[in-house]
Amino acid sequence: MITMAKKKKDAPITGITVSKEEDFSAWYTEVLTKCELADIRYNIKGFVCYLPWATITIKKMYQKYEELLEKNGHLPLIMPSLIPERNFHLEADHVEGFAPEVFWVTEAGSSGLLSERLALRPTSETALYMMYSYWIRSYNDLPFKRYQSCQVWRYEGKMTRPFFRGREFHWIEAHNVFASEEEAMQQVYQDMEMTYQMIQEEFCIPIIFFQRPKWDKFAGSVNSYAADALMGSGKVLQLPSTHYLGQNFSKPFNVKFVDKDGEEKYGYITCYGPAISRIYGAMIAYLGDDKGLVLPFDLAPIQVVIVPILVKGKENFVIEKCQEIYDLFKDEYRTKLDDSENSPGSKFYQWEMKGVPIRIEVGPKDVEKDQAVVVKRHDGTKSFLPLKNLKNSVKKIANNFTIELKKSKLLDFEEQIEPCHELDSAREALEAGKIVCCGFCSIEEEGERCAETIEKDLGGFVRGKRVDDDKHKFASCINCGKPASCTVYIAKSY
């Protein structure tokens, strides 16, 4: 199952043996397997089992995201996961976009065929907005902000990869209704703000938001805004996207409200879909190194591991000291005292591989010197810390862990960007693992042919126009030479 090509020298066979830089795919597969994150042997194509080490972190990510959504006025609900086929047909673009990806329930129990096909939700617009037409009556009900944490199913044609892309994945979807376009767009901006707060600040993955070209927007939206994360080797991965749906759904689904002026009006809708399982995949891929996982402090299933270094005849007082240290931290952090029979060296490898942020080593000499050795996972730095003040010192390290990790990992996206004026230089830049920025005729429908040419010739995708200010300006489209209406970014993608 693991491609054994390009082994690192001197790595123990139990640790990660492939270099991430040399062969990302093999590295990722090895991390999934050896860190026990996912099992791809489940017997339906594109469906995988999420193992405990991944599940614990994913649950913590959900918790953080849900807290932020609730802080920003969203209430949780739980919707049925099946959607009647007739609901889908109410919005033409939506059904066209999702039809190729829907799993259909057609039979049930011994009674056989159902009278109507039921979709496993690929996304919940067509389930929710029908209910919104009951729930929203007047301007007093607006803004109406709801979210649910759930899984969705999509019959993906593209190659699947655990967490990155699967036929069942786990996300949050927020669906909001407003009285005006302006308020709705404010929500879109808040969604982007929340994305930065979570993806960059909490999960340590750098992103840029793009307004997607018209041909690449969400099926049924007016405009879509999506974050791209640079995953190394020049490839980007789409992380959360937020969509301004305007009245495209409120009209067919009859989502109306009586306004202050007594008139009935259609609501303006936005939706936002952070895919937690995909963000988890991006996080382990982006933060990990050749030793294995690196995790933000809050998200690690075990945050502090204590490894006794035993020397014959002196086992007892080392173990005793380790137990004391364990008691010091067990209520504050998820702490483990690894008193298994493995050698200290193999314990180091094991817990480094699993991404435990802080390791505390204690040997007989340390006990004599009243000290402990504390090692930070993300940069490997080692400190010899007096036991007397250990609690405070470790607390400081814990508090700074994610800040330091972020600092080292939120490399300037800008450095990865190469402004190009011609297709040839763009091709070279893409091959060198860069993101190309260039002039482009239009991200409205009329630009699609240029984008198709670029995809065919360069293997790169037009990701859209930056949402923040763009300092790069170009006079003409890199492909057709017509006057440029905007600056776009081209990248290979997962």
User: Applying CB under 8 A, which residues contact a second copy?
Assistant: 39, 41-44, 47-52, 55-56, 58-59, 75-82, 84, 86-87, 99-111, 117-118, 120, 127, 130-131, 134-135, 146, 151, 153, 155, 157, 168, 170
- CB of residue 43 vs a second copy: minimum separation in angstroms? 5
With contact defined as beta carbons under 8 Å apart, do 185 and 222 qualify?
no
Strand runs labelled E in 267-390: 268-272, 304-308, 335-337, 358-362, 371-376, 382-386
- CB of residue 268 vs a second copy: minimum separation in angstroms? 21
Per DSSP, the residues of 382-439 read: EEEEEGGGHHHHHHHHHHHHHHHHHHHH---GGGGEEE-SSHHHHHHHHHTTPEEEEE
Q: What backbone phi and psi angles, to 5 degrees, belong to 78? A: -130, 120
Q: What backbone phi and psi angles, to 5 degrees, belong to 375? A: -120, 130
H-helix or E-strand spanning residue 276: helix 276-287
- Helical axes 52-71 vs 276-287, angle rounded to 10°: 120
Nearer Cβ to a second copy (36/444):
36
Nearer Cβ to a second copy (135/317):
135
Task: State how far the Cα of 289 lies from the Cα of 409, in Å rounded to an integer.
Answer: 12
- CB of residue 219 vs a second copy: minimum separation in angstroms? 14
Strands 223-230 and 235-246, how do they pair? antiparallel
- CB of residue 157 vs a second copy: minimum separation in angstroms? 8
- CB of residue 203 vs a second copy: minimum separation in angstroms? 18
Nearer Cβ to a second copy (80/386):
80
Nearer Cβ to a second copy (346/392):
346
- CB of residue 216 vs a second copy: minimum separation in angstroms? 19
Per DSSP, the residues of 250-261 read: HHHHT-EEE-TT
- CB of residue 105 vs a second copy: minimum separation in angstroms? 5
Task: State how far the Cα of 293 lies from the Cα of 377, in Å rounded to an integer.
Answer: 9
- CB of residue 340 vs a second copy: minimum separation in angstroms? 10
Peptide bond into 52 cis (omega under 30): no
Instruction: Provide the CA 396 distance to its chain's centre, in angstroms.
Output: 28
Nearer Cβ to a second copy (298/404):
298
- CB of residue 345 vs a second copy: minimum separation in angstroms? 20
SS3 label, residue 232: coil
Nearer Cβ to a second copy (170/377):
170
Nearer Cβ to a second copy (275/488):
275
Nearer Cβ to a second copy (111/316):
111
Nearer Cβ to a second copy (300/454):
300
> Residue 360 contacts by C-beta under 8 Å, 6 or more apart in sequence?
304, 305, 306, 307, 325, 372, 373, 374, 375, 394
